[in-house]
Structure 1
């Protein structure tokens, strides 16, 4: 059954093993963490001494679904299962506690003596034990390291800022959109394609400085990471949830993210707004219609334009959320109504009323 440490490949594999009721010990580790590597040596010796148990290694950052299921925030981290249930955990490089907890779930050791703290050397070997103890002294903060400990330098921070804003929608993933190298990255790519949005990408496996720096920069320990105009939207779980609820599409509309028309061409929201704004010489974006305004400010502007006998077109921003949100960013004007003349913003209700009261509205719209 046991005797060797195996790499856990999926949560479903773990769930199947738990159904057997056999003792299971998981070691969550990270390749950059020395304490993880050294505790893995202890872990391997314990696997040999307790062959009736399953010993699995889990790279915390490679398997966020499993890490999140057991609230793994630092490595090394151990989870112990007995009769199909998680019964104990251990955080940090503590070989004696590890041996104790293993013996509780896995029974007696095959060594001449039980794996108690005083006899840990039987399981780990004196050289490994001393190495781990020395490392533990050098890492006193609970003897565990957060999944990301890299503090970006000013130069790296500047580089990360440029990377995250290099495309309106930027995906930091493992591999490329054409060849994703992990299931979570592939899922997010599929979602973005289904949403028909244009996006840039960066392969974090190609640059360890970016990979480690971005975790601290975003305060997000796993990949993929999806950014919208420099702001982190989230990882795979959040992207999936937002996509399923429709919030992702709403976020893209609000930020004016480019969409695909389904026929191979790219239709920019900015281009659509320009077309609408220039569809009439005088164009009013309002709530409701000129005959049935749906707010007092829109009603005031309509009356002012009609009092001056100005011919104008209109668009009901309540009828199209994409236009409503997009034009705020396009014009850098957060409220409605908005009045345009020959494609240029004149202003909102206050400015229009000032022009009207001063007798300058018709002249402004006739230049």
Structure 2
């Protein structure tokens, strides 16, 4: 292994390394994300401090199959694997947590030496500490400079999102999708028999880069309903198969239409109707569930066995 970061080019290549059983640290990044670049410096330093682990880098948008498989919804995002299984994740730019999690999954810095993940300095060395200081300083400066810089673009993006009750940012058009993931989401919407607008992100680089930052979602397609981001391809498919997507559309007053009218290619408006009121019995049951504990989580699966990445993240936060 020898202390270097390797760029992953395919899911098959990644699976081979992960299933090999050794400790693996995986960094999902994007070229447009400044936080990713800062964290990548720290990631590279850690690969030197922990030469007995694999350090892999994945460009989230260029490898959508891998991003979808690991439920990547924002960058930077880190996944930690051991014995062929995902044992931990980290979302966001948190240098200390990154060093601690790497130390935990990779073991000691030197053979025979006990790991001490509680201390960033002990876990990663002085080089990382220096990078952390640079990161903190640069992040503060950039946040101060960037406030209000892209107001016209934000306004345009919001107008696009709000232009249709269901809005799909995709590669190509519904009639001619330019990637398999976009095609799958278009098929899902056709099966749901709903009218939707779309925007070809390949036709406008400003919108393509801007919507990734705006939604904090690094891959395409991106599906919105009434201004709310639902997610990408895997989430849309899972929600469709479980019936949840139909319920979301119903709750937001989205009418079903004739299959020949499900796409308006970004021109016409989708149908709107009033939501059906919940029955008294169901309302009573829901109130009882909500009030059954001081903190109540409605999730997919259960705390010890979450059935989706987002539920797992919330459980992790509560724990």
Shorter-chain TM range is: 0.5 to 0.7
Q: Find the partner of 2:240 among 228, 238, 243.
A: 243
- The within-5 A match list for 1:131-280 is 132-139=132-139, 155-167=152-164, 169-177=166-174, 178-181=176-179, 183-195=180-192, 199-211=196-208, 213-214=210-211, 223-228=220-225, 232-246=229-243, 248=245, 251=249, 255-256=254-255, 258-260=257-259
Q: 2:21 aligns to what SS in structure 1?
A: coil
Contact 1:100/1:117 (8 A) holds in 2:
no
Deviation at 1:212, TM superposition (A): 5.2
Q: 1:139 aligns to what SS in structure 2?
A: helix
Deviation at 1:6, TM superposition (A): 2.7
C-alpha distance in 2, partners of 1:104/1:196?
A: 46
Cα distance 1:100–1:169, how it changes in 2: closer, same or farther (>3 A)? closer
Counterpart for residue 303 of structure 2:
none
Contact 1:80/1:87 (8 A) holds in 2:
yes
Q: Structure 2: which 5+ residue stretches go unaligned?
A: 264-270, 278-319
Deviation at 1:188, TM superposition (A): 0.6
For these two proteins, the number of residue pairs brought into alignment is 256
1:40 aligns with 2:40: yes
C-alpha distance in 2, partners of 1:56/1:235?
A: 23
Counterpart for residue 315 of structure 2:
none
Deviation at 1:67, TM superposition (A): 6.1
Deviation at 1:260, TM superposition (A): 2.9
**Whose RCO is larger (CA < 8 A, sep 6+)?**
2
C-alpha distance in 2, partners of 1:96/1:214?
A: 28
Deviation at 1:22, TM superposition (A): 1.1
Counterpart for residue 102 of structure 2:
101
Counterpart for residue 80 of structure 2:
80
Contact 1:95/1:120 (8 A) holds in 2:
no
C-alpha distance in 2, partners of 1:206/1:243?
A: 28
Q: 1:172 aligns to what SS in structure 2?
A: strand
Counterpart for residue 57 of structure 2:
57
Contact 2:193/2:262 (8 A) holds in 1:
no
Higher-Rg structure is 1
CA deviation string 1:192-243 (max 9, x = no partner): 3445666442233554543455457667665422245656554334421342
TM-score w.r.t. the length of structure 1 is: 0.49
Deviation at 1:71, TM superposition (A): 7.6
C-alpha distance in 1, partners of 2:217/2:12?
A: 24
CA deviation string 1:72-97 (max 9, x = no partner): 67654444333334455566353896
Deviation at 1:105, TM superposition (A): 1.2
C-alpha distance in 1, partners of 2:20/2:35?
A: 31
C-alpha distance in 2, partners of 1:119/1:17?
A: 24
TM-score w.r.t. the length of structure 2 is: 0.55
